[in-house]
Amino acid sequence: MRYAILSDIHGRSEKLTVVLGEARARGAEQILSLGDAGGDDCLSLLSQAKTLAAFGNYEVSGWRRLKPEHQAWVRSWSPLVVVDDFLAVHAAPWWPAGLRTVEDFGQWLRRTHQPWTALFPYLSADDDTLWQALVALERAGKAILFHGHTHRQAVWSWDPAGCLRPVHASTLAIEPGCRYVVGVGSVGVPEDGAWAAYALYDASVRQLELIRLSIR
C-alpha cells in the first residue's frame, strides 16, 4: 500500500485539493489524515477521497459546528490509526485510559481543567517527549510513528545501537530494526516554510518521502 499522510489542513480547502491531486498522481492508494482538518469543505474533500483519519484537537473543540453528516463521521474517528508497520496520530500516542472519541477527549478536558497539551503534547517540545514516542513504538512493535500538530516536517531515527539522531534527507529507506518518528508537516499553515507539506510512504518497499509543494 502506498499512503499519502497529511495533517493540519485548518480549512485551507484550495491547498488540500492540490495536495490530494498531487498525491494521487504520485501513486497514493490511501489518504490518511492526522487531524485538524478544518470545516465542512475540507471534510467533504477528505470523505470523497475515502480518507482514513485520526482526530486532532481542532476536531475535539469544533466537531459540533460541522454539518450533521460530518459530525457523525468525525465522531467515528479514532485518536490513533494502526496500519501496516506504522502508527499514525495527531500529536502523541498516549492519553488517559478509556478515552476513545472526540467526545471522550472533550469531556475529560472539561472535567479535569487540564490544558490542551495534556492530551495533545508537542513531540518537538523536548527530548523526554520524543523518547516516550519511541517507547510507544517499541511496545507496539511498529517501525514508524507519523504525527502532525507541530506544523513542521521532521524525522528522527533510533537505531539498534541506541543512537537517536535527526534525519535531514527528504527521501529515506526504512531500515530493519530502526524506529522512526516522522512529523508530516502541515498542508494549511506550515511553520517551516511557504509550502503545503505531507508525507508519502510506500509500505511495500518501506520507503518514505517528505513532499513540499509551493502553494500559497
Give the per-residue pLDDT at 216: 67
Name the percent of the chain lying above pLDDT 90.
95
CA distances from 149 to 48, 119, 174 (A): 24, 12, 23
Query: What single-letter DSSP state applies at residue 3?
Result: E
Q: Which of 136, 139, 153, 61 is nearest to 92 (CA)?
A: 136
What are 135-187's pLDDT values in tens digits?
Answer: 999 999 999 999 999 999 999 999 988 889 999 999 999 999 999 999 999 99
Domain boundaries, the chain: 2-213
Q: Is 62 in contact with 88 (CB distance < 8 Å)?
A: no
pLDDT digits (tens, 9 = 90+) for 83-104: 999 999 999 999 999 999 999 9
Please identify, in words, the CATH class of the domain defined by 2-213: alpha beta
- Residue 29: its H or E element: none
